[in-house]
A = this chain, B = another copy of it.
Amino acid sequence: MASRTIENYLKQIYLSRPADETQWLTMGKLSTAVGVTPGTATSMVRAISDAHLVEYEPRAGVRLTPAGEQLALHVLRRHRLIELLLVQVLGLDWSEVHEEAEELEHVVSDRLLARIDEILHHPAFDPHGDPIPTAGGVVRRQDCCTLLDCPLGEPTSIARILDQSAEFLQYVNQCGLLPGAEIRVASRNHQAQTVELMAIKPGETQVEAMSFSVAEKFLVQLNERKK
């Protein structure tokens, strides 16, 4: 079986892969994502490539094979299911579960994972709104836009938080913008580079302002019309 090191590399290759599918992930990006020196990444990638889990083109970069992608998605599934368990069942704060899951993801057996999945009723998203791959290795697509480019005034729900640093997540917590929260973008001020939000709560109107750079870190979904 793949060592925990290899699992970590594969997961990071998946998460850091460039949007354009034909592109390679550069070794520089990979080495910083994994947290090793570039030389270490090169030799590790060579090894993983011998195992046919990635394609490696010197001076171009690295890219997952179908087998490697399946493995990466399994690790990601473990990671995200564990995060949700830690939040929902064990009551950890969502800002601290990532570190924890980073270790646990390599150690939880298939049997235990199946039980976790059952207890959580086969959830589709983790506490940060990231999609949980299915046991078969399929990632469900959600179409979202950021608070920067979603339509003004429309009722929307927070779907996903892109900056998952502990500090940012604590800020998100404070202003109640967790995944699921219903809000509208009241206005955008291009001079001040700010976005004004309104919470949709019964009888109450709360306002929150944030800069464009922060607004970009929230993905939202348009609420379905209830007429």
Contact A112 B91 (CB under 8 A): no
Of residues 7 through 25 on chain A, the ones whose CB sits less than 8 Å from some CB of chain B are none
- Complex contacts, A90 vs chain B, CB 8 Å: 112, 115-116, 119
Least CB separation from A97: chain B residue: B112
Q: Are B107 and A92 in contact (CB under 8 A)?
A: no
Nearest Cβ on chain B to A99's Cβ, whole angstroms: 8
Contact in complex: A109, B115 (CB < 8 Å)? no
> Do B92 and A112 touch (CB < 8 A)?
yes
- Provide the residues of chain B in CB contact with A119, threshold 8 Å: 90-91
Q: Chain B residues near A106 (CB, 8 Å)?
A: 107
Q: How far is the CA of A106 from the CA of B106 in the complex (A)?
A: 12
Whether A111 sits at the interface, judged by CB under 8 Å, is: yes
Judged by a CB distance under 8 angstroms, whether A96 is at the interface is yes
The distance from the CB of A42 to the nearest CB of chain B, in whole angstroms, is 26
Number of interface residues of A (CB under 8 A): 19
> Is the pair B109, A107 in contact by a Cβ cutoff of 8 Å?
no
Q: How far is the CA of A92 from the CA of B106 in the complex (A)?
A: 19
State the CA gap A28–B189 with chains docked (Å). Answer: 75
Q: Specify which chain B residues have a CB less than 8 angstroms from the CB of A99 in the assembled complex.
A: 109
Report the Cα distance A112→B92, complex, angstroms.
7
Cα distance, A109 to B109, chains bound together (Å):
18
What residue in chain B is nearest A109 (Cβ atoms)?
B100
Closest 7 pairs between A and B when the two form their complex, measured CB to CB: A103-B107, A90-B115, A107-B107, A100-B112, A104-B107, A100-B109, A91-B115
Query: What is the interface of chain A, defined by CB distance below 8 A to chain B?
Result: 86, 89-92, 96, 99-100, 103-104, 106-109, 111-112, 115-116, 119
22 A-B pairs with CB atoms under 8 Å apart are: A86-B112, A89-B89, A90-B112, A90-B115, A90-B116, A90-B119, A91-B115, A91-B119, A92-B111, A92-B112, A92-B115, A96-B111, A99-B109, A100-B109, A100-B111, A100-B112, A103-B107, A104-B104, A104-B107, A104-B108, A106-B107, A107-B107
Q: Name 9 extra pairs, CB < 8 A, besides A86-B112, A103-B107.
A: A90-B112, A90-B116, A91-B115, A91-B119, A92-B111, A92-B112, A104-B107, A106-B107, A107-B107
